[in-house]
């Protein structure tokens, strides 16, 4: 899928980032805070500006492209959703300094481990243009981690903060319930 871009590897190849002992050299105010976090299984260390968002850190420093910016950082669309410490968060509204010690999962990480939600979204045609798909996938994966037996109503409630201009809303609950059945071994 389009959101499994390999941005981490691209960032490393460009020399912008190396895991573990990486430190950001991008500075605007000169007043940077040190943070360490785990992103898709890799440990990272940065010095971040106080006003940087998690979305900026993931996209601009690590090179991950799945957290989108459809609503201009207003927290209104869900396209920037990532999983932080097991819960879906809007990365456009989460300050990077709040992520010290956090474990972050993005759509790239979910695709890398071949989580069943990916195949279910494909099977049920739960996307069209794909722009909003990473936000839906990360929110759905967080739901499945908390609730292995979601109903379609549970899925609709969990995905209520995610918007799709293409109108694929009918397919999302079916895809998530299907992935839950695969995870339980009921389906293959």
**pLDDT tens figures, 113-123:** 999 999 999 99
Last residue of a domain, one of 109, 141, 156: 109
> 17 pLDDT band (50/70/90 cuts)?
very low
What is the distance between the alpha carbons of residues 89 and 78, in angstroms, rounded to a whole number?
9
> 112 pLDDT band (50/70/90 cuts)?
very high
CATH number reported for the structural domain that contains residue 121 in this entry: 1.10.150.120
> 88 pLDDT band (50/70/90 cuts)?
very high
Buried b (16+ CB within 10 A) or exposed e, 87-124: ebbbbbebbbbebeebebbbbbbbbbeebbbbebbeeb
Domain count, the chain: 2
pTM above 0.95, yes or no: no
Q: What average pLDDT does this structure show over 130-134?
A: 94
Shared domain check, 68 and 37: yes
Radius of gyration of the chain measured on its C-alpha atoms = 16
CATH number reported for the structural domain that contains residue 91 in this entry: 3.10.20.30
Residue ranges making up the domain that contains 59: 33-109
Q: What average pLDDT does this structure show over 153-179?
A: 95
Domain membership flag for residue 6:
no
Q: Which helix (H) or strand (E) holds 103?
A: strand 103-105
Last residue of a domain, one of 109, 136, 165: 109
Q: What average pLDDT does this structure show over 149-175?
A: 95
């Amino acid at each position: 899928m389009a959101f499994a871009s390999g941005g981490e590897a691209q960032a490393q190849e460009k020399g912008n980032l190396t895991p573990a002992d990486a430190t950001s050299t991008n500075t605007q105010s000169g007043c940077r805070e040190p943070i360490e976090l785990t992103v898709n299984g890799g440990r990272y260390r940065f010095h971040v500006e106080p006003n940087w968002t998690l979305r900026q850190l993931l996209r601009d420093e690590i090179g991950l492209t799945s957290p989108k910016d459809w609503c201009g950082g207003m927290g209104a669309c869900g396209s920037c959703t990532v999983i932080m410490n097991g819960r879906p968060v809007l990365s456009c509204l989460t300050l990077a300094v709040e992520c010290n010690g956090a474990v972050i999962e993005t759509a790239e990480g979910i695709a890398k481990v071949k989580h069943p939600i990916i195949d279910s979204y494909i099977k049920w045609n739960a996307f069209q243009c794909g722009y909003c798909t990473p936000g839906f996938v990360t929110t759905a994966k967080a739901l499945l981690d908390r609730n292995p037996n979601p109903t379609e109503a549970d899925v609709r409630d969990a995905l209520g903060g995610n918007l799709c201009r293409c109108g694929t809303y009918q397919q999302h609950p079916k895809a998530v319930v299907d992935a839950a059945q695969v995870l339980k071994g009921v389906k293959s």
